[in-house]
Amino acid sequence: MGKTRYVSGFLSDAGRTAKNQDAYDMYDAKLTDGRSGPGRMVTVAIASDGINGHQGGDTASELAVSVAKSAFNDLDAPLLERMQLSIQRANREINEKSLKIPKLRGMGCTVIMAVVDDDKLYVAHVGDSRAYLVRGGSAYQLTEDHVRSGGARGSMSQLSRRLGRARRVSVDLGCIPLGKSSRQSAERVSSIQLQRGDTVLLCTDGLTNELSDEYIQQIVSNARTPQAAAQRLISKARAAGGTDDITALLLRWQDRRRRNILLIIAILICALLWFNRVPIIGGIHATLQSWPTIHKYVHPILASLVPEKTWAEEPTVHQEPSVNTATPTIEMTATITLQPTVPISPTKVVVQPIDTPTPPATAIPATPTATGTPIPETATPTPTASFTLIPVNTPTQVTLATPTFTPRPTN
C-alpha cells in the first residue's frame, strides 16, 4: 500500500441482547478512479450499529456492511464519491427490505466508514458511530454525531440521521479539523495526512457512552498493539457499567521508510557475507575435516555454494605442539655371552669393562662393539656381545659409554 503499512486490531462484544446487533469489516480494495492501469490498493474499515430495542437491528447493520463493501468494490468513481454512493446504496437496500418484510419494518442502523489511501485518511458516516485519530497525547474526534438537540445518543427516535429511515439519506463526507469540534467549526477537510504512530479508531456508541475521549486516548496510546487496545477499551467500558453492544476497530500506521532502511542494512550485510564466502566456507570446511561423519554430509553443500577449487586446497594451519629441547637420557645395558670357537679347557673368565669417554648422545655409534685381547698361553675365544638400549626420557643430559672388554683367563 504505497509508502505506508498498518497494524490492525478489532473486537465486538454483545451487550444485553441475545445477539450482537453491531457489524463490522476491514479489507483491502483496488481503486482505479476510472483511469487505465492496474490501480492501487486501499484499506477499508466499516462499522455499523443496529438500532437498540428494535427488531431487525442486527439485519440492518449486517446489510449496511455487506452492501457498502460490495458497492465500493464495484463502483468506478473518485474515492469520496465512491464512499458516498456505497453508503447510499446500503441505505436503499435496508429501506426496501424493511418495507417488504413486516417484522423488519422500521429497522435502521448507523454506519462509519474509513478508507486509507497511501498515507491519507478519508471518512464518511451517518448516525452517531464515531471515528477518532489518536496522535501524541490527544484523541481527536473526526465525526459529528447525528442526534437531535438534547437527544440521547443511541436512541432511534433521537437520531437525526440513520440508514433505513427513508430511501435517500445525506452522508457526511470528510473530517472535522484536528483540534476543533463541530460546534466550533462547520468546516470539513476531505482527508487527513497520517503520520507514523497515528492510530485510527472506529467505534459504536457502546464505547463512547461509557469512556471519555481522554481515557480512550490513554488506553490506545499505552497499548502495545491495536488488538490489545481493542480488548482493553471494551473491558473498561464493561467495567464502567456499559450494557450496549460495543465494537472497536483500530489501525495503527507506521512509516515504511524506517523499515526500508533496515532492509537496506540487511541486504548490505548479506552482500558482504556473500563476497567473503570463500574464506568463510573454506574455514568451515577445514574445521569439519576433523569430524569425518559430519564432513561427508556438509561437504556437498559447501561445494554447491562455492567452487571447491577455490577453497578445498587451501592449507589448513595447525598449531605445532611445544617441543621439549632438553637432551634425552639414554640408558644402556649390555649382556655379554662368550662362545669359544675351539674347545678349551674349563677356565673361569672374568670380563672387566674398561670405561672410555664417549661422544654426546647425538653421535651414538650404530652398533657398539666389544674387542678382546687373548693371552698367548691359551686358545683365543671369540666373544660376542648383545646390547639392549632402553631410552629414558628425563630432562638430564648424560653421555654414553662404549665398553671395551678384555677376556683374561684365571687359574
User: Do residues 192 and 252 share a domain?
Assistant: yes
Residue 275 falls within a domain, yes or no? Answer: yes
User: Do residues 101 and 231 share a domain?
Assistant: yes
pLDDT at 108 over 90: yes
User: Do residues 62 and 187 share a domain?
Assistant: yes
User: Do residues 238 and 270 share a domain?
Assistant: no
User: Do residues 393 and 304 share a domain?
Assistant: no
Distance of CA 30 to the CA centre of its chain: 30
Beta bridge partners of 386: 335
Percent pLDDT > 70 in the chain is 57
Residue 388 falls within a domain, yes or no? Answer: yes
Residues 246-268: pLDDT tens digits?
Answer: 999 999 987 655 556 666 777 77
User: Do residues 212 and 265 share a domain?
Assistant: no
The reported pLDDT for the residue numbered 305 is 59
Note down the domain range covering 57: 4-256
The reported pLDDT for the residue numbered 55 is 77
What average pLDDT score do residues 326-340 get? 49
User: How far apart are the C-alpha atoms of 104 and 127, rounded to whole Å?
Assistant: 19
CB 230 within 8 A of CB 248: yes
Residues 6 or more apart whose CB falls under 8 angstroms from that of 387 comprise 332, 333, 334, 335, 368
Residue 35 falls within a domain, yes or no? Answer: yes
Domain boundary among 276, 310, 344: 310
Residues 6 or more apart whose CB falls under 8 angstroms from that of 392 comprise 328, 329, 330, 331
Residue 315 falls within a domain, yes or no? Answer: no
Domain boundary among 194, 226, 256: 256
Residue 317 falls within a domain, yes or no? Answer: no
Domain boundary among 238, 256, 274: 256
Residue 411 pLDDT class (50, 70, 90 cuts)? very low
Q: Report the domain count for the chain.
A: 3
Q: Locate 177 and state its grid cell.
A: 479539523
CATH of the domain at 136: 3.60.40.10
Name the average pLDDT for the chain.
76
User: Do residues 296 and 383 share a domain?
Assistant: no
CB 203 within 8 A of CB 45: no
User: How far apart are the C-alpha atoms of 190 and 169, rounded to whole Å?
Assistant: 19
Amino acid occupying residue 14: A
Residue 181 pLDDT class (50, 70, 90 cuts)? confident
Q: Locate 86 and state its grid cell.
A: 456505497
Residues 47-96: pLDDT tens digits?
Answer: 999 986 667 899 999 999 999 999 999 998 999 999 999 999 999 999 99
Q: Which residue has the higher pLDDT, 10 or 357?
A: 10
Residue 319 falls within a domain, yes or no? Answer: no
User: Do residues 251 and 339 share a domain?
Assistant: no
Cell numbers 659409554 label which residue? 401
User: Do residues 225 and 346 share a domain?
Assistant: no
The reported pLDDT for the residue numbered 99 is 94
User: Do residues 249 and 360 share a domain?
Assistant: no
User: Do residues 272 and 142 share a domain?
Assistant: no
Distance of CA 340 to the CA centre of its chain: 93
User: Do residues 110 and 192 share a domain?
Assistant: yes
User: How far apart are the C-alpha atoms of 101 and 207, rounded to whole Å?
Assistant: 31
- DSSP classification of residue 228: H
Given its phi and psi angles, is residue 5 left (phi above 0), alpha (psi -120 to 50 degrees) or beta? beta
Residue 322 falls within a domain, yes or no? Answer: no
Q: Which residue has the higher pLDDT, 293 or 16?
A: 16
User: How far apart are the C-alpha atoms of 332 and 231, rounded to whole Å?
Assistant: 93
Residue 270 falls within a domain, yes or no? Answer: yes
